[in-house]
Structure 1
Amino acid sequence: MDTTTRKVSPLRQRMIEDMRMRKLEPRTQEGYIRAVRKLTEYLKRSPDTATVEDLRNFQLHLVDTGTSPITLNATLTGLRFFFDITLGRAELMARMQPVKLPRTVPVVLSMQEAAALIAAARNIKHQAALSVAYGAGLRASEVCRLKVGDVDSERMALRVEQGKGAKDRYAMLSPVVLQRLRAWWRIGHAQGKILPGGWLFPGLDVMEPLSARQLNRAVHDAAAAAGIAKRVTTHTLRHSFATHLLERKVDIRVIQVLLGHKKLETTSIYAHVATDLLREVLGPLEQVPPSS
């Protein structure tokens, strides 16, 4: 094993400190560092020597090499932090604009497919975790970081600490989800996997939570076992949760709160995939009298 420690340049160290001062999430910090590293590799010199023309050519290079719109925009965001905050040269990024993302609709399971997927999970821990993802509409990271004390059976709510946007919120806890959590807790506690006040879904090391990657792998395995051909992730269960609530006539503003969305516009995407609502609409052709 190579134990050599890579030397961190003063410029990179300053950027790391700038990100730490603002308490950016670790994954965000990694993404920003990756963006500056891409620019450095393109320039073949220190990124603080970049000019407006260099940055323009770099964006053209990303486009020409087939970089996806999401990755391209993420790279620009990281560079904007570097030039605006670390270097104090915001003018260099003034003409760099993000590209428009294609608007897509999420993959959604039917209620029968969601139930089959959860039932096909290989063990009771995964079944309980997927039940929370679908039954409460939580993100994968939010499911993984639940602790035993976050289950409030008196108020029938799940406390989500520091979800997306570093915000706390409460999610719904249905009787069925509570029953499955209790079943998992009894087994996990008896096996020494769930510690008092510990993670509700621990990983192989009980001191660490199940990772989002491990949970997604469990979803893929369950989808394959259930014979579901759709491209499914843990987030698909969250999409399905919101869509099925909308189809049951739950107010979209209530769904917005349950999902923890900041903007109603984000939640409104589910109106495009709520097929039960579409079936209730009487098309204009249906009202045209048949030709004699």
Structure 2
Amino acid sequence: MRPQKSITLKHLLVEQRKCIGLQFTTNKVLQALIDTLPNVSWSQEFGMFYMPNNKSNLELIFKTFNGVAWINGNYFFTEKVINEDNPVLNLERYRNRKPKEGFKPCPEEYLLKLELKRYSDNTVRNYVACFESFINHFYDTDPINLNEMDVRKYLQKLIQEGKSNSYVNLSINSIKFFYEIVHGMPNRFYSVERPRKVKQLPEVLSKEEIVKIINNTNNIKHKCIVGLLYSSGLRRSELLNLNVTDIDSKRMVVIIKNAKGNKDRISVLSPAF
């Protein structure tokens, strides 16, 4: 049985030194064990204890709290593949671009990590575009030396230019990816406010309009596509990834694999199609 007490490991950057943050709910037993660790200090800024980030200290943490508390490394160990079912992308189209004077391309380390994480092609395209806009805004500065205030000013510029909330959020994600995933640095942007997502009612076609579209589609393949999209409520990407074996005509259902959020789901199959 997993111990009820837990300690969460975090990446911290203290005086430009990479450190292991130890975050836990106040507990006398855990505090007593923390006090036995060498070179442990308290950070008022991050509100947690920390120690130098090295292999021996990491091993010592697991050894010290073994059987006493569960070590949560979800925020610390970032090598997990995002979606193993995504194909391995070839990003040579970015690497082989002709150099442009006055333009900094996305660093190789960034591209390599995107490949290893197996992000989707659409996410890669958006991340690269947004991050290149960011680093070229600070063309004469190494991005590793930028701070939270620099990021805030850049995001303010995007808002003043009338960029959408989704674009600003995407820019934040691409910037965080560089610092936290590529360089394994701590979450430096806890207090960077994200714009609220605009919730708009979708534009929905009426049943009569859908019937007109289907009736005016002569190609049987295209008619089947429109019918499936409407009757089963499929997303475009779900339709493109659909296999014949995913359609169960006996149960009259469509099995959608790796849908949004990497989850499988089942939708109804209309008798008309």
TM score, norm. by length of structure 1: 0.54
2:151 corresponds to = 55
From 4, 11, 16, the equivalent of 2:111 is: 16
Query: Quick check: which one's strand share is greater?
Result: 2
Distance 1:71 1:123 in 2: 37
Query: Quick check: which one's helix share is greater?
Result: 1
For the pair shown, the structure with the greater C-alpha radius of gyration is 2
Distance 2:149 2:261 in 1: 34
Structure 2 residue ranges without an equivalent (≥5)? 1-94
Structure 1 residue ranges without an equivalent (≥5)? 178-292
1:128 aligns with 2:224: yes
Note closer, same or farther for the CA distance 1:122–1:64 as it changes in structure 2 (3 Å cut): farther
- SS for the counterpart of 2:179 is helix
**Deviations along 1:183-239, whole A, 9 cap, x unmatched?**
xxxxxxxxxxxxxxxxxxxxxxxxxxxxxxxxxxxxxxxxxxxxxxxxxxxxxxxxx
Distance 1:140 1:11 in 2: 29
1:224 corresponds to = none
Query: Which fold has the larger relative contact order, with Cα–Cα distance below 8 Å and residues 6 or more apart in sequence?
Result: 1
Please tell me the residue identity of whatever aligns with 1:73.
N
1:35 aligns with 2:130: yes
**Deviations along 1:241-269, whole A, 9 cap, x unmatched?**
xxxxxxxxxxxxxxxxxxxxxxxxxxxxx
- Tell me the CA shift for residue 166 of structure 1: 2.0
1:25 aligns with 2:116: no
Please tell me the residue identity of whatever aligns with 1:33.
V
Q: Is the 8 A contact 2:214 2:223 kept in 1?
A: yes
Sequence identity, in percent?
27
Distance 2:248 2:116 in 1: 34
Distance 2:253 2:143 in 1: 48
- SS for the counterpart of 1:171 is strand
Distance 2:231 2:152 in 1: 46
From 83, 97, 107, the equivalent of 1:6 is: 97
Q: Which moved more, 1:50-59 or 1:88-97?
A: 88-97
The aligned runs of 1:89-100 (5 Å cut-off) are: 89-100=185-196
Q: Is the 8 A contact 2:106 2:132 kept in 1?
A: no
- Tell me the CA shift for residue 94 of structure 1: 2.4
Distance 2:253 2:150 in 1: 52
Matched pairs, number: 175
1:170 aligns with 2:261: no
1:110 corresponds to = 206
- Tell me the CA shift for residue 113 of structure 1: 1.5
Please tell me the residue identity of whatever aligns with 2:96.
T
- Tell me the CA shift for residue 10 of structure 1: 11
1:209 corresponds to = none
- SS for the counterpart of 2:254 is strand
- SS for the counterpart of 1:163 is coil
Please tell me the residue identity of whatever aligns with 2:230.
Y
Q: Is the 8 A contact 1:80 1:90 kept in 2?
A: no
TM score, norm. by length of structure 2: 0.58
- Tell me the CA shift for residue 175 of structure 1: 1.0
Q: What is the RMSD of the two structures over their aligned residues, measured on CA atoms?
A: 2.6
1:159 aligns with 2:255: yes
Note closer, same or farther for the CA distance 1:5–1:165 as it changes in structure 2 (3 Å cut): same
- Tell me the CA shift for residue 17 of structure 1: 3.0
